[in-house]
Chain A
Amino acid sequence: MALSADDRVADLGTMRARLPHARRFLNRAPAGRVVGLTLLALVLAFLTVYPLSMLLYGSLHSTPPGVAGVFTLDGYRDIVSQQNLLTLLNTVGIALAKTIPSLFLAVLLAWILARTDTPFRGTLEVLVTLPFFIPPILTAMAWGMLGNPQVGLLNQLYQGITGSTASPINVYSYGGVVWHMMQYSVPFLFLLIVDAFRAMDPSLEEAARMCGATRLRTFCTVTLQLMLPALTGAAILSFIRGVENFESPLFFGSPAGIHVITTDIYDSINQRSPPQYQYATAISFVIMALMFLIILMQWRILRGRSFQTVSGKGYSPGVMKLGKWRWATFAFCALFFAVTVVLPVSQLLIGSFFKFFGFYEWDMLTLEHYQAVAGSSEFWRAFSNTMLLGFVGATLTMLLGGIVAYVSVRTKWRGRRLIDAMAWLPWMMPGIVLGVGFLWGFALLPHAIPIYGTIWALLLAYISLGTPLSVRVMSSAYGQLSYDLEECSRVHGASWLQTMWRIMIALVWPSFAVGWVLIFFGIMRELSASVLLYSVGSEVLSVVLLKLWANGSAEQVSVIGLIMMAMVIVFRWVQLRVIKRWIGAL
């Protein structure tokens, strides 16, 4: 990672004299590499730059593509207002307020579950990641009942115990928005960093301990420092997701008069007459520019530092013995699981067996929601489409991300920074706007390119949306691998492909598996692009969930949410078993 960080910054400063460099590069680089890099750039350009260029056009034009109008800067001009500045500050404040404690909790959980002898940590690892996979609509519904100030169960419990009439919990507040975001953020961060903790050679920590450092000092000065690329990368992803989060402010912020950028964008597209696409796209590009600045900051933080923790030397990924404190760490993980999963999921589970969610009377007990879901041909069609898109999409996305990350982190090829930046682009654009970019982009393709209105449109959109995450996951994994591993393999006569397969892929496989699961379930939940691109026959689960929700079938939405959770448990269990086998083989 040190090299890549260096080169990233160096490349930014070497824009001049690009043409002669390019010519020299073409003269020197093997033809296969040039073709490969060009092909990679073209794929990324189609998946990311093309839809974004449509949105850029929309931000600079008085009408959306295809409609007569004029080029103007009105969209950008409209952004400059005191109200928008306040909204932006609010958004950044909420994103920070959820990222910082989330990162703290995620690091603690990752350290406990990957580096200590806490009991049942295999099971706990599956359990603490579950909140990430519950559709936000469901947790919003559950927390709306648990934490509303009038009749919330937690408030009633408090009142019952204390005899007070006060309601200390109000989810319709800043705290509610941040809390709802954190339930996704903590497991997301945990998933991104836990393998970095797990794959770290403990000899570095042992050396610090032998030199007299306390456990805390070792943790802060060695462990955390070595995790810096993974931590900063994950934190930035989490912060960006915080800025772009839509559901939490919509469900819990809007009723309390809390405005953020995404709800503003949503209003401008969905709630104004006519829809203000120029404003929505313009403000999205401003956000994108701000996000890019943050990424530049990360590159600067990491510049010139080495974070390689997996070398050619054999090591055993041992764990720290905590003694009696192991039960305290167990209790901490169990508490996190209880609050973020048991409470809301109990609501979903119980609700799914009653005629109406939230109304628990004996005469309302029923299995009709399970029967309705099981007997719905639309559900099964959407399920099979989603599985197909999930498996193919997650695999292709991880392969693409793996290639981009490899080129970006492990090579010094010219053009690699451009490829890395292209892969980042979709992550920096709010999903509700990016969906429109895909719609415009695919619809305006020549009719001879049969993408629009087919399942391919969804697949390509999912790959585009997932690539930034896959690149980040794989970049962190590659960044930890010492270069001597590759060099050693090549010195011993292995071909590049053999080295890739036997060394690189073998070592980054756990990260690949984590990324695959994250992207698979990301595809399962994706709505913004899906609802604009699906066609009859290519419905996906998120669209079915939306329809059920819009029709007031919250109970069936709960059933599907529970099915998704069961799948997560199975996937994670299989994944962890596979990872364990690989780690054991190291």
Chain B
Amino acid sequence: MFLKLKRVALVALVAGFAFPASAEDASWDAVVAAAKKEGKVVVYNMALGAPYFAAVVKSFEKEYGIAVESLDLRASELVERLRTEQSAGRYLGDVEMITTTMIEEQLKNGDFIQKLPPIPNAANLRPPFKATEYSIPAYVQPMGILINTRLVKGDDVPKSWNDLNSPKWTGKLLSDDMRPLGSGNTLFAVLQNNMGAEFNEKLAEQRPVFSRDMRNDARRVARGEYPIYITQVFAFASDLKGLPVKVIVPQEGAPYAEMDLAVLKNAPHANAARVFMQHFLNVDSQALYANAWMLPVVKGAAERADPEAQPYANARLMGMAKLSERPDMMALAKKLYP
């Protein structure tokens, strides 16, 4: 009886969705055809030539025959370049890939992006990720603790963020600067919200040493300059195999930054932009990110990650920094770290 009911339900489900799905398919085929006619898509991004991004771009070009022009810039330069171009009426870019908070800021300061057209793969986003009216999640960069495995062993290995406040680590923590905008302040804000104000006060008493050279800082820990680095973006350690370092995901979870995709206002290749976003949310594309120790945003990608990447692709998330809280968090960090 139960099986029969299940079969009926399934038939009803298929019947209910078959026709709209076909209509959607047809309409999507038209988008793809229009995109191919446009011939290229210009992507403004912060990936700075990262190999996983290049791999997604390559697979897109291969699948659709549409050329990708990737303009790689650092965050602030990307935002200013877009703002200047849009203000000057030079509509050269189609898609941008930047953090959620930067998109929020763009919406607040000017209408440089346009409402998001339907992207079929958005239906496959995994919780807690969801598309907004203007943007869609692309991937997630969580942060944990990096340890030097020769200097931090056994019970000394931190399991909780609270373990960092043990007296044995006083003066021995390296961190991205928590006062300005960036990973350091994101970590500071998320830990402030989740661990309570006392946590950051105690951490400040540990006198962490600030640096802003995240890639080099991981290597400084590997060389033994410091035993612990506390703003380690998982992905930035994925290519350090062979060095005596390990990324720890604390039991409370990992603060993170979400990278989103948005279509720029008056994008000259708007259809190609949509197809690119659709491709970015493919399980295959997302699996490339998962294998680089980033958190994929669609269902079915984390499961396909290499065994070594699994803990990071499925890491428990703690939260991300909020634009509305940013001035207060930056001021507080400056107060605690004068």
Chain A residues near B (Cβ < 8 Å): 64-67, 141, 144-145, 148, 150-151, 250-251, 254-255, 267, 269-275, 355-359, 364, 378, 436, 439-440, 443-444, 447, 452-453, 531-532, 535-536, 546-552, 554
Contacts and interface: CB of A to CB of B under 8 A. Distances in A.
Interface in B45-78: 48-51, 69-77
B289 interface: no
Contact of A255 (B87, B211, B327, B330): B211
Interface string B287-313: 000000000000000000000000000
Given A546-B48, A551-B215, A552-B239, 4 more contacts: A358-B219, A452-B88, A550-B49, A552-B218
A449 B281 CA distance: 39
A250 B243 CA distance: 26
A257 to B, nearest CB: 8
Contact of B88 (A255, A275, A436, A444): A444
B223 interface: yes
Nearest to A356: B243
16 contacts: A141-B216, A144-B220, A150-B224, A251-B213, A254-B177, A269-B76, A270-B75, A274-B105, A275-B79, A356-B243, A358-B223, A359-B223, A436-B80, A546-B74, A547-B49, A550-B49
Interface of B: 42, 48-51, 69-77, 79-81, 83-85, 87-90, 92, 101, 105, 109-110, 177, 180-182, 209-213, 215-216, 218-220, 222-226, 236, 239-240, 242-243, 323, 326-327, 330
Contact of B181 (A272, A378, A535, A551): A272
Contacts of B48: 546-547, 550-551
A453 B87 CA distance: 15
A548 B49 contact: yes
A552 B242 contact: no
Nearest to B84: A443
A532 B81 contact: yes
A459 to B, nearest CB: 19
Nearest to B42: A536
Given A151-B225, A546-B48, A547-B49, A67 B77 contact: no
Contacts of B211: 254-255
Contact of A270 (B74, B92, B210, B216): B74
A546 B78 CA distance: 14
B89 to A, nearest CB: 7
Contacts of A436: 80
The 5 residue pairs across chains A and B that have the minimum distance between CB atoms: A66-B87, A271-B180, A547-B49, A536-B69, A552-B215
Interface centre among A144, A546, A552 (most CB of B within 10 A): A552
A254 B210 contact: yes
A439 B327 CA distance: 28
B92 A550 contact: no
Given A270-B74, A443-B84, A550-B215, A359 B180 contact: no
B87 A67 contact: yes
B93 to A, nearest CB: 10
A67 B177 CA distance: 31
Given A439-B81, A550-B215, A447 B90 contact: yes
Contact of A67 (B81, B105, B110, B219): B110
Contacts of B224: 150-151
Contacts of B215: 549-552, 554
A145 B223 contact: yes
Contacts of B218: 552
Nearest to B86: A66
Nearest to A357: B219
A67 B80 contact: no
Contact of B216 (A144, A269, A275): A144
